[in-house]
Protein backbone atom coordinates (compact mmCIF):
# COMPACT_ATOMS: atom_id res chain seq x y z
CA UNK A 1 0.00 0.00 0.00
CA UNK A 2 2.67 2.47 1.08
CA UNK A 3 4.83 1.68 -1.89
CA UNK A 4 1.94 2.02 -4.35
CA UNK A 5 1.13 5.45 -2.98
CA UNK A 6 4.75 6.59 -3.20
CA UNK A 7 4.95 5.40 -6.81
CA UNK A 8 1.81 7.29 -7.78
CA UNK A 9 3.06 10.38 -5.97
CA UNK A 10 6.39 10.28 -7.76
CA UNK A 11 4.68 9.70 -11.10
CA UNK A 12 2.64 12.86 -10.55
CA UNK A 13 5.76 14.66 -9.34
CA UNK A 14 7.56 13.71 -12.56
CA UNK A 15 4.68 15.06 -14.58
CA UNK A 16 4.84 18.34 -12.69
CA UNK A 17 8.62 18.58 -13.20
CA UNK A 18 8.18 17.81 -16.89
CA UNK A 19 5.74 20.70 -17.17
CA UNK A 20 8.13 22.94 -15.17
CA UNK A 21 5.50 23.63 -12.54
CA UNK A 22 7.03 25.34 -9.51
CA UNK A 23 6.52 23.91 -6.01
CA UNK A 24 6.10 20.50 -7.64
CA UNK A 25 6.05 18.55 -4.36
CA UNK A 26 3.17 20.54 -2.91
CA UNK A 27 1.18 20.33 -6.12
CA UNK A 28 1.92 16.60 -6.31
CA UNK A 29 0.40 16.14 -2.86
CA UNK A 30 -2.68 18.07 -4.00
CA UNK A 31 -2.77 16.11 -7.26
CA UNK A 32 -2.52 12.75 -5.52
CA UNK A 33 -5.30 13.63 -3.10
CA UNK A 34 -7.58 14.89 -5.87
CA UNK A 35 -6.85 11.78 -7.94
CA UNK A 36 -7.83 9.49 -5.09
CA UNK A 37 -10.94 11.55 -4.39
CA UNK A 38 -11.91 11.31 -8.06
CA UNK A 39 -11.54 7.53 -7.99
CA UNK A 40 -13.73 7.36 -4.90
CA UNK A 41 -16.21 9.90 -6.30
CA UNK A 42 -18.95 7.53 -7.57
CA UNK A 43 -18.84 5.39 -4.46
CA UNK A 44 -19.13 8.34 -2.11
CA UNK A 45 -21.79 10.01 -4.24
CA UNK A 46 -24.08 7.03 -3.99
CA UNK A 47 -23.59 6.99 -0.25
CA UNK A 48 -24.32 10.72 0.04
CA UNK A 49 -27.50 10.37 -2.01
CA UNK A 50 -28.75 7.50 0.11
CA UNK A 51 -27.80 9.36 3.26
CA UNK A 52 -29.72 12.45 2.19
CA UNK A 53 -32.87 10.50 1.44
CA UNK A 54 -32.62 8.61 4.69
CA UNK A 55 -32.37 11.83 6.64
CA UNK A 56 -35.53 13.01 4.94
CA UNK A 57 -37.23 9.77 5.88
CA UNK A 58 -36.13 9.74 9.49
CA UNK A 59 -39.44 11.13 10.84
CA UNK A 60 -41.31 8.30 9.09
CA UNK A 61 -38.86 5.84 10.53
CA UNK A 62 -39.49 7.16 14.01
CA UNK A 63 -43.22 6.63 13.51
CA UNK A 64 -42.61 3.06 12.43
CA UNK A 65 -40.43 2.49 15.44
CA UNK A 66 -43.14 3.54 17.84
CA UNK A 67 -45.92 1.62 16.10
CA UNK A 68 -43.98 -1.63 15.81
CA UNK A 69 -42.15 -1.31 19.06
CA UNK A 70 -42.52 -4.91 20.12
CA UNK A 71 -42.28 -6.61 16.76
CA UNK A 72 -38.74 -6.41 15.50
CA UNK A 73 -39.34 -8.50 12.40
CA UNK A 74 -42.31 -6.43 11.34
CA UNK A 75 -40.33 -3.24 11.91
CA UNK A 76 -37.58 -4.58 9.71
CA UNK A 77 -40.02 -5.36 6.90
CA UNK A 78 -41.77 -2.02 7.19
CA UNK A 79 -38.43 -0.20 7.12
CA UNK A 80 -37.45 -2.09 4.03
CA UNK A 81 -40.76 -1.21 2.41
CA UNK A 82 -40.35 2.47 3.30
CA UNK A 83 -36.92 2.55 1.72
CA UNK A 84 -38.17 0.76 -1.37
CA UNK A 85 -41.12 3.10 -1.80
CA UNK A 86 -38.89 6.15 -1.62
CA UNK A 87 -36.17 4.67 -3.76
CA UNK A 88 -33.50 4.62 -1.10
CA UNK A 89 -30.82 2.23 -2.10
CA UNK A 90 -27.93 1.97 0.28
CA UNK A 91 -26.53 -0.53 -2.17
CA UNK A 92 -22.93 0.06 -1.33
CA UNK A 93 -23.55 -0.72 2.31
CA UNK A 94 -20.78 0.44 4.52
CA UNK A 95 -18.16 -0.18 1.85
CA UNK A 96 -17.50 3.51 1.08
CA UNK A 97 -16.61 4.12 4.69
CA UNK A 98 -14.53 1.00 5.09
CA UNK A 99 -12.63 1.60 1.85
CA UNK A 100 -11.86 5.20 2.71
CA UNK A 101 -10.25 4.54 6.06
CA UNK A 102 -7.17 2.58 4.92
CA UNK A 103 -6.70 5.04 2.06
CA UNK A 104 -6.79 8.03 4.40
CA UNK A 105 -4.43 6.26 6.74
CA UNK A 106 -2.12 5.18 3.91
CA UNK A 107 -1.82 8.69 2.51
CA UNK A 108 -1.22 10.03 5.98
CA UNK A 109 1.61 7.65 6.79
CA UNK A 110 3.29 8.03 3.39
CA UNK A 111 3.17 11.81 3.33
CA UNK A 112 4.27 11.99 6.93
CA UNK A 113 7.50 10.27 5.90
CA UNK A 114 7.94 11.88 2.51
CA UNK A 115 7.72 15.50 3.60
CA UNK A 116 10.11 14.90 6.46
CA UNK A 117 12.91 13.45 4.33
CA UNK A 118 16.17 15.37 4.69
CA UNK A 119 17.25 17.00 1.39
CA UNK A 120 20.39 14.84 1.09
CA UNK A 121 18.38 11.64 1.56
CA UNK A 122 15.46 12.41 -0.74
CA UNK A 123 16.94 10.95 -3.92
CA UNK A 124 18.19 7.66 -2.46
CA UNK A 125 15.18 7.05 -0.22
CA UNK A 126 12.62 7.79 -2.90
CA UNK A 127 14.37 5.89 -5.66
CA UNK A 128 14.68 2.80 -3.46
CA UNK A 129 10.88 2.67 -3.21
CA UNK A 130 10.19 2.99 -6.95
CA UNK A 131 9.12 -0.26 -8.64
CA UNK A 132 11.70 -1.63 -11.12
CA UNK A 133 9.12 -1.46 -13.92
CA UNK A 134 8.72 2.25 -13.32
CA UNK A 135 12.42 2.98 -13.01
CA UNK A 136 12.14 5.81 -15.53
CA UNK A 137 10.37 7.72 -12.79
CA UNK A 138 13.48 7.76 -10.62
CA UNK A 139 14.33 11.27 -9.61
CA UNK A 140 17.80 12.70 -10.10
CA UNK A 141 17.74 15.76 -7.87
CA UNK A 142 16.17 16.50 -4.48
CA UNK A 143 12.89 18.36 -4.60
CA UNK A 144 12.03 21.80 -3.47
CA UNK A 145 10.61 21.14 0.00
CA UNK A 146 8.64 24.38 0.10
CA UNK A 147 5.21 25.39 -1.14
CA UNK A 148 4.82 29.12 -1.79
CA UNK A 149 7.49 29.68 0.80
CA UNK A 150 6.03 27.28 3.35
CA UNK A 151 8.36 24.44 4.35
CA UNK A 152 6.21 21.33 3.88
CA UNK A 153 8.25 19.23 6.29
CA UNK A 154 8.00 21.62 9.23
CA UNK A 155 5.13 21.77 11.68
CA UNK A 156 3.38 25.03 12.58
CA UNK A 157 4.68 24.49 16.11
CA UNK A 158 8.24 24.63 14.82
CA UNK A 159 7.49 27.69 12.71
CA UNK A 160 5.84 29.62 15.50
CA UNK A 161 8.88 31.76 16.28
CA UNK A 162 9.63 32.66 12.66
CA UNK A 163 6.25 32.73 10.91
CA UNK A 164 3.71 33.17 13.69
CA UNK A 165 0.85 34.18 11.38
CA UNK A 166 1.25 31.10 9.20
CA UNK A 167 1.66 28.90 12.25
CA UNK A 168 -1.72 30.04 13.51
CA UNK A 169 -3.46 30.31 10.16
CA UNK A 170 -2.79 26.73 9.05
CA UNK A 171 -4.45 25.01 12.03
CA UNK A 172 -7.31 27.52 12.05
CA UNK A 173 -8.04 26.99 8.35
CA UNK A 174 -7.79 23.21 8.72
CA UNK A 175 -10.24 23.26 11.59
CA UNK A 176 -12.50 25.65 9.70
CA UNK A 177 -12.81 23.48 6.61
CA UNK A 178 -13.36 20.43 8.78
CA UNK A 179 -16.14 22.25 10.58
CA UNK A 180 -17.82 23.27 7.33
CA UNK A 181 -17.84 19.65 6.24
CA UNK A 182 -19.22 18.40 9.54
CA UNK A 183 -21.85 21.10 9.55
CA UNK A 184 -22.97 20.17 6.05
CA UNK A 185 -23.10 16.52 6.97
CA UNK A 186 -25.80 16.77 9.59
CA UNK A 187 -28.79 18.50 8.10
CA UNK A 188 -30.79 17.67 11.19
CA UNK A 189 -29.27 17.75 14.65
CA UNK A 190 -27.83 14.29 15.20
CA UNK A 191 -30.43 12.84 17.51
CA UNK A 192 -30.20 9.12 17.23
CA UNK A 193 -30.84 5.93 19.11
CA UNK A 194 -28.38 7.15 21.69
CA UNK A 195 -31.19 9.22 23.15
CA UNK A 196 -33.50 6.34 23.84
CA UNK A 197 -30.86 4.23 25.43
CA UNK A 198 -29.93 5.16 28.92
CA UNK A 199 -27.62 8.08 28.92
CA UNK A 200 -24.30 6.78 30.03
CA UNK A 201 -21.58 8.99 31.40
CA UNK A 202 -21.90 12.66 30.69
CA UNK A 203 -18.71 12.93 28.72
CA UNK A 204 -19.96 10.50 26.10
CA UNK A 205 -23.23 12.31 25.50
CA UNK A 206 -21.54 15.68 25.38
CA UNK A 207 -19.03 14.32 22.90
CA UNK A 208 -21.81 13.03 20.66
CA UNK A 209 -23.89 16.16 20.57
CA UNK A 210 -20.85 18.39 20.25
CA UNK A 211 -18.73 16.24 17.94
CA UNK A 212 -19.39 18.74 15.18
CA UNK A 213 -17.42 21.30 17.19
CA UNK A 214 -15.00 19.08 19.06
CA UNK A 215 -13.68 17.29 16.04
CA UNK A 216 -12.62 20.38 14.04
CA UNK A 217 -10.82 21.70 17.11
CA UNK A 218 -9.05 18.36 17.47
CA UNK A 219 -8.07 18.45 13.81
CA UNK A 220 -6.84 22.01 14.14
CA UNK A 221 -4.74 21.00 17.10
CA UNK A 222 -3.32 18.01 15.22
CA UNK A 223 -2.40 20.13 12.25
CA UNK A 224 -0.46 22.40 14.59
CA UNK A 225 1.81 19.48 15.47
CA UNK A 226 1.91 17.81 12.04
CA UNK A 227 4.05 18.84 9.06
CA UNK A 228 2.42 21.43 6.81
CA UNK A 229 2.55 18.94 3.94
CA UNK A 230 0.03 16.82 5.81
CA UNK A 231 -2.28 19.77 6.38
CA UNK A 232 -2.07 20.45 2.66
CA UNK A 233 -3.23 16.89 2.00
CA UNK A 234 -5.96 17.00 4.60
CA UNK A 235 -7.34 20.34 3.46
CA UNK A 236 -7.40 19.21 -0.16
CA UNK A 237 -9.24 16.11 0.98
CA UNK A 238 -11.77 18.08 3.00
CA UNK A 239 -12.36 20.78 0.40
CA UNK A 240 -12.97 18.15 -2.25
CA UNK A 241 -15.40 16.50 0.16
CA UNK A 242 -17.20 19.81 0.74
CA UNK A 243 -17.57 20.43 -2.99
CA UNK A 244 -18.81 16.90 -3.60
CA UNK A 245 -21.27 17.14 -0.74
CA UNK A 246 -22.53 20.46 -2.08
CA UNK A 247 -23.04 19.05 -5.57
CA UNK A 248 -24.83 15.94 -4.38
CA UNK A 249 -26.72 16.91 -1.25
CA UNK A 250 -26.69 20.71 -1.23
CA UNK A 251 -25.70 22.83 1.71
CA UNK A 252 -27.22 20.60 4.37
CA UNK A 253 -26.88 22.01 7.84
CA UNK A 254 -24.92 24.98 6.51
CA UNK A 255 -27.97 26.38 4.72
CA UNK A 256 -29.26 27.91 7.96
CA UNK A 257 -26.20 30.10 8.21
CA UNK A 258 -26.02 30.95 4.54
CA UNK A 259 -29.62 32.10 4.69
CA UNK A 260 -28.83 34.24 7.69
CA UNK A 261 -25.92 35.86 5.90
CA UNK A 262 -28.04 36.69 2.87
CA UNK A 263 -30.95 37.74 5.03
CA UNK A 264 -33.38 35.10 3.85
CA UNK A 265 -36.11 33.93 6.19
CA UNK B 1 -14.38 -11.51 28.04
CA UNK B 2 -17.97 -10.49 27.46
CA UNK B 3 -17.40 -7.28 29.36
CA UNK B 4 -14.38 -6.39 27.28
CA UNK B 5 -16.35 -6.81 24.07
CA UNK B 6 -19.31 -4.87 25.36
CA UNK B 7 -16.99 -2.10 26.46
CA UNK B 8 -15.32 -2.01 23.05
CA UNK B 9 -18.71 -1.83 21.35
CA UNK B 10 -19.90 1.00 23.54
CA UNK B 11 -16.62 2.82 22.99
CA UNK B 12 -17.14 2.44 19.25
CA UNK B 13 -20.75 3.62 19.45
CA UNK B 14 -20.03 6.59 21.66
CA UNK B 15 -16.77 7.90 20.26
CA UNK B 16 -15.17 6.10 17.40
CA UNK B 17 -18.15 6.05 15.07
CA UNK B 18 -18.49 9.82 15.42
CA UNK B 19 -14.83 10.30 14.62
CA UNK B 20 -15.13 8.06 11.57
CA UNK B 21 -18.18 9.98 10.38
CA UNK B 22 -16.34 13.26 10.69
CA UNK B 23 -13.21 11.99 9.00
CA UNK B 24 -14.93 10.44 6.02
CA UNK B 25 -17.61 13.11 5.81
CA UNK B 26 -20.21 10.40 5.43
CA UNK B 27 -23.21 10.15 7.66
CA UNK B 28 -24.22 6.66 8.51
CA UNK B 29 -26.56 5.01 6.09
CA UNK B 30 -27.22 1.58 7.38
CA UNK B 31 -29.02 -0.93 5.26
CA UNK B 32 -30.17 -2.64 8.40
CA UNK B 33 -32.70 -1.31 10.83
CA UNK B 34 -30.49 -2.25 13.71
CA UNK B 35 -27.02 -1.01 12.99
CA UNK B 36 -24.23 -3.52 13.15
CA UNK B 37 -22.98 -2.22 16.46
CA UNK B 38 -26.42 -2.38 18.07
CA UNK B 39 -26.82 -5.87 16.71
CA UNK B 40 -23.41 -6.82 18.04
CA UNK B 41 -24.19 -5.51 21.47
CA UNK B 42 -27.52 -7.32 21.74
CA UNK B 43 -26.20 -10.58 20.32
CA UNK B 44 -23.13 -10.71 22.50
CA UNK B 45 -25.14 -9.74 25.54
CA UNK B 46 -27.60 -12.56 25.01
CA UNK B 47 -25.51 -15.29 23.45
CA UNK B 48 -22.08 -14.62 24.82
CA UNK B 49 -18.90 -13.99 22.90
CA UNK B 50 -18.27 -17.48 21.54
CA UNK B 51 -21.67 -17.91 19.96
CA UNK B 52 -22.36 -14.26 19.27
CA UNK B 53 -19.16 -13.17 17.60
CA UNK B 54 -19.49 -15.43 14.52
CA UNK B 55 -23.01 -14.07 14.01
CA UNK B 56 -21.76 -10.51 14.29
CA UNK B 57 -18.96 -11.14 11.82
CA UNK B 58 -21.40 -12.73 9.37
CA UNK B 59 -23.63 -9.72 9.75
CA UNK B 60 -20.81 -7.24 9.06
CA UNK B 61 -19.62 -9.26 6.07
CA UNK B 62 -23.14 -9.13 4.66
CA UNK B 63 -22.88 -5.38 4.33
CA UNK B 64 -21.39 -5.02 0.85
CA UNK B 65 -22.67 -4.36 -2.65
CA UNK B 66 -22.57 -7.98 -3.77
CA UNK B 67 -24.95 -9.07 -1.07
CA UNK B 68 -28.51 -7.91 -1.40
CA UNK B 69 -29.83 -6.73 1.93
CA UNK B 70 -31.72 -9.74 3.11
CA UNK B 71 -34.06 -8.96 5.92
CA UNK B 72 -34.80 -12.57 6.63
CA UNK B 73 -32.45 -13.28 9.43
CA UNK B 74 -32.17 -16.63 11.06
CA UNK B 75 -31.14 -14.95 14.24
CA UNK B 76 -34.16 -14.36 16.42
CA UNK B 77 -32.59 -11.33 18.07
CA UNK B 78 -32.61 -9.20 14.98
**Ranges of H-type helices in chain A:** 2-18, 24-67, 72-85, 95-116, 122-129, 156-159, 164-185, 202-225, 228-249, 255-261
Q: What is the pLDDT of residues A107-136, one digit of tens each?
A: 888 888 888 888 788 888 888 888 888 888
Q: What is the pLDDT of residues A162-189, one digit of tens each?
A: 878 888 888 999 999 998 888 887 755 4
User: Into how many domains does chain B fold?
Assistant: 1
Q: Whole-prediction pTM value?
A: 0.79
**Residue A59 class from Cβ within 10 Å (0-12 exposed, 13-18 middle, 19+ buried)?**
exposed
CB–CB contact A54 B29 (8 Å): yes
Instruction: Print the domain residue range for B47.
Output: 2-61
CB–CB contact B29 A207 (8 Å): no
Whether the CB of A241 is below 8 Å from some CB of chain B: the reply is: yes
Nearest-Cα distance to chain A for B71, in Å, is 7
Query: Using an 8 Å Cβ cutoff, are B60 and B9 in contact?
Result: no
Whether the CB of A206 is below 8 Å from some CB of chain B: the reply is: no
Q: Work out whether the CA dihedral A234, A238, A243, A244 comes out positive or negative.
A: positive
Indicate the residue of A55, A93, A238 with minimum beta-carbon distance to B63: A93
Q: What angle do CA A217, A99, B14 make, to 5 degrees?
A: 45
Whether the CB of A48 is below 8 Å from some CB of chain B: the reply is: yes
Q: Which of residues 19-48 of B touch A (CB under 8 A)?
A: 19-36, 38
Whether the CB of B75 is below 8 Å from some CB of chain A: the reply is: no
Q: What is the pLDDT of residues A186-199, one digit of tens each?
A: 755 444 444 444 45
Tell me the ipTM for this assembly: 0.71
- Mutation target to probe the A interface, by most A beta carbons within 10 A, among B7, B10, B19, B31 is B31
Residues of B in contact with A185 (CB under 8 A): 21-22, 25-27
A260 pLDDT above the threshold of 60:
yes
Instruction: Print the domain residue range for A101.
Output: 2-261
Nearest-Cα distance to chain A for B62, in Å, is 9
Q: Work out whether the CA dihedral A87, A91, A95, A100 comes out positive or negative.
A: negative
User: Into how many domains does chain A fold?
Assistant: 1
Average pLDDT over residues A46-56: 79
Residues of A in contact with B6 (CB under 8 A): none
The answer as to whether B66 is a domain residue is: no
Query: Using an 8 Å Cβ cutoff, are A181 and A242 in contact?
Result: yes
Percent of chain B topping pLDDT 90: 0
Query: Using an 8 Å Cβ cutoff, are A246 and A184 in contact?
Result: yes
Amino acid sequence: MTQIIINILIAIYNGMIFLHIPYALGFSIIGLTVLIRLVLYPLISSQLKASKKMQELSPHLKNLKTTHKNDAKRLQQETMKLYKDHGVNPAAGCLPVIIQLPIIWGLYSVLQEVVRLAPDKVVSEVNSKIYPVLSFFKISAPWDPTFFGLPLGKTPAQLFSTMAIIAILVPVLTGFFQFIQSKMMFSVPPKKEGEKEKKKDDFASVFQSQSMYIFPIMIGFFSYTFPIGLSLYWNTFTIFGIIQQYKIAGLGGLSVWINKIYGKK
Amino acid sequence: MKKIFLFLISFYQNFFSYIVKNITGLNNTCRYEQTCSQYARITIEKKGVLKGLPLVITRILNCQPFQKPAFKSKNKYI
